[in-house]
Structure 1
Amino acid sequence: MSESANTLEKRKVSTTHRITICAQKLTDQRGFDGFTMDELAEAAQVSRRTLFNYFPGKLDAVLGPGPELPDQVIETFRAGGPNGDFIADIKVLIAAMVDIKGFDRDEALVARRIFKTNPRLLLAVHERFHAVTELFTDLILDREGQDFGRHRARILINVLACLFDVALEDVLSDTTGRRELDAAYFEAFDTLRGVLSC
């Protein structure tokens, strides 16, 4: 990727993040129906046109962009990599999908609060999770074969999502503010792997 393309991509990611954070803060302060897209554009310091170039509507802006997996990561996983160990490779896949390095505690607290208190947002999060579950299920079956079982793959994905919730709760309840989400998630992941191997 050229330097100018890289700069453009960083700007796009930054603008997307800013819009979502502003949408979540407005939702927290006023409720989901308590602000307009014009007010969101003003809060995010973008034009209305730019706002709609990034998100088709308010719900999408509050949820933020869906998780994405780079094509190379998907192909490597399908081919049995990068480590050749299924569980270790799932861990790599999750790390590539979830930007837990850019975690901000205050932003996470706002997001968690609005998703817990707004049924419409909670339903939208659930629908998005269902779509991600289907993607991961298909990837697992592509790699491991249909004999692995769709039900088994879905159970695994739901357990991994629960680990994320456990890690997030650990980090948000850490009063020192020093616990990192990626470390907490992978610690939970490794703990579960150890428990299941007993």
Structure 2
Amino acid sequence: MDSADELGRRDRKKLETRAALEHAALKLVAARGLAGVTVEDIAEAVDVSSRTFFNYFPSKEDALIGPSPASTAELRERLEALPADVPVLEALRLMSRVEAERVQEQREQWLLRLKVFEQNPSLLPRLVASGSETERAVTAAVARRSGIELGTSGYPELATAVAMAAFRVAMIRWSAAGGRPELADLVDEAFAQLAGGLPNP
């Protein structure tokens, strides 16, 4: 086996270990609550040492939050790749829809994660903090797309905040319904309401 194959195998093994630790953390906390689970419990469930756990995550809370389906750079690139004549709200919907399809591909893991967040409200500030970097990057991309300087009209900030709220509402509805219908359809529905100006139902 050449060194490239060996490197590929090692990278795959790392990704598998990370995913296994994440899943074990979610399952254990869903069953016992946040206070009832230690890093040692999570590591033991995957048959690795606590030291190995800390190679992947700084804390058990970080293992629960896990990675965003798309990196901040990916979201920004996705927005910037859309033709310039696509209106901002539609561009944000298309970006959110791809994200929703990725979440749907890991349906069980995400439903478990959302259940853990619901049961452990102390995780919410950490979740909000992890989303703020993404929001800043998307806001900057929206500003470039709309030709508006940040901090002037408030348009890029508001458009991004509203889009992220629409995605969050769709996720909450999706979780409450047990992962059906498809998350992307709920995202489309939320954006349709925004595009319609949120008239009274």
- Give the TM-score band, short-chain normalised: 0.7 to 0.9
CA contact (8 A) 1:171 1:184 kept: yes
Amino acid at match of 2:168: D
Aligned pairs (5 A) from 1:1-40: 11-40=13-42
TM-score, structure 2 normalization: 0.73
Structure 2 distance, partners of 1:11, 1:22, is: 16
CA contact (8 A) 2:79 2:95 kept: yes
Identity of aligned residues (%): 26
CA contact (8 A) 2:72 2:133 kept: no
Structure 2: stretches of 5+ with no match in the other structure: none
Structure 2 distance, partners of 1:119, 1:147, is: 36
Paired residue for 2:124, among 122, 126, 149? 122
Paired residue for 1:55, among 51, 54, 57? 57
Return closer, same or farther for 1:71/1:28 CA change in 2, 3 Å cut-off. closer
> Which residue of structure 2 aligns with residue 82 of structure 1?
82
Structure 1: stretches of 5+ with no match in the other structure: none
Structure 2 distance, partners of 1:150, 1:18, is: 45
1:139 corresponds to 2:152: no
Bigger CA drift: 29-38 or 10-19? 10-19
Query: What do the CA deviations read for 1:58-106 (whole angstroms, capped 9, x no partner)?
Result: 121111124543757634634xx3233133332343345562232325x
1:157 corresponds to 2:160: yes
Amino acid at match of 2:55: N
Point out which structure has higher relative CO (alpha carbons under 8 A, 6+ apart): 2
Instruction: Give the paired residue count.
Output: 192
Aligned CA-pair RMSD: 3.4
TM-score, structure 1 normalization: 0.74
Query: What do the CA deviations read for 1:129-171 (whole angstroms, capped 9, x no partner)?
Result: 2222112112222332334647332322222222223323433
> Which residue of structure 2 aligns with residue 167 of structure 1?
170
Return closer, same or farther for 1:154/1:77 CA change in 2, 3 Å cut-off. same
Amino acid at match of 2:52: T
CA contact (8 A) 1:24 1:114 kept: yes
Paired residue for 1:103, among 83, 106, 111? 106
